[in-house]
Homo-oligomer: A and B are copies of this chain.
């Protein structure tokens, strides 16, 4: 598996896929930089007057609802519908699912366009599956990832999507009833805003060039987790960690990647 995942990382650099992002204001700079660092080409656009044209030229799409409003929601729905129609792979990042009824309503509408991959923390995945067993505290998870596995399986069955429940261990599930665990990452990453959003953007880059969407998701999560682990050793806090992760995403070697890789099949 090491060889395959590393090859996937190289594929991005070779093919430089164009990733169209509708994402939140907080993380746009860091998301664009992370995509550039791994070799992808980011575009950020949201105007209703051009959004279809942008999706048309994109190799994959990310929709992150973090700072949604009524206008952006219209753009998100056009984007999801267009991606679905064109068979362009797309990632849904359900930031803050469960925090407000509005978010949950919009998410149900977006799900109709069958995201290729959904990445969220355990709280968000539970809310997305309309499990009423948790309370979201902001955008952080207050339940353990494995509590959300049943919710994820429901979503997989209903929408045929790949799900990544991110947390200390990331759990990846698909409609072939496979489960993978990615144990890479470092706890200080939770003190950098938008690490989850970055993960979702990287997944979009990987599903743009890799046919196997489960392996693509694993590669993205492992790459970011390993970049975080290695970077933390050179960081004195979350500020330098944010910077160092970009450097490591750009410069990571095969030896570094495979030396840290900690992925298990369930």
Interface residues of A (CB under 8 A from B): 18, 24-30, 32-33, 36-37, 41-50, 53-54, 57, 66-71, 96, 99-103, 137-140, 190-194, 235-240, 242-251
* A82 shortest CB reach to chain B, Å: 13
CB neighbours of A70 from chain B (8 A): 47-49
A50 CA / B54 CA spacing, docked (Å): 28
CB neighbours of A251 from chain B (8 A): 236-237
Docked-complex contact A99 and B53, CB < 8 angstroms: yes
A30 CA / B139 CA spacing, docked (Å): 17
Docked-complex contact A43 and B99, CB < 8 angstroms: yes
* A95 shortest CB reach to chain B, Å: 10
Docked-complex contact B27 and A29, CB < 8 angstroms: yes
Docked-complex contact B137 and A41, CB < 8 angstroms: yes
The quantity of this chain's copies bound in the complex is 3
Given contacts A43-B96, A69-B47, contact A191 B36 (CB under 8 A): yes
A169 CA / B15 CA spacing, docked (Å): 25
Interface centre among A25, A30, A37 (most CB of B within 10 A): A25
A26 CA / B24 CA spacing, docked (Å): 10
A9 CA / B263 CA spacing, docked (Å): 38
Contact of A238 (CB < 8 Å), options: B33, B48, B96: B33
CB neighbours of A32 from chain B (8 A): 26, 193-194
Docked-complex contact B250 and A246, CB < 8 angstroms: no
Interface centre among A32, A66, A238 (most CB of B within 10 A): A238
A44 CA / B26 CA spacing, docked (Å): 8
Interface centre among A30, A138, A240 (most CB of B within 10 A): A138
Docked-complex contact A67 and B41, CB < 8 angstroms: no
CB neighbours of A25 from chain B (8 A): 25, 28, 44
* A166 shortest CB reach to chain B, Å: 16
* A231 shortest CB reach to chain B, Å: 9
A54 CA / B70 CA spacing, docked (Å): 16
* A73 shortest CB reach to chain B, Å: 8
Given contacts A24-B44, A67-B46, contact A33 B138 (CB under 8 A): no
Docked-complex contact B36 and A192, CB < 8 angstroms: yes
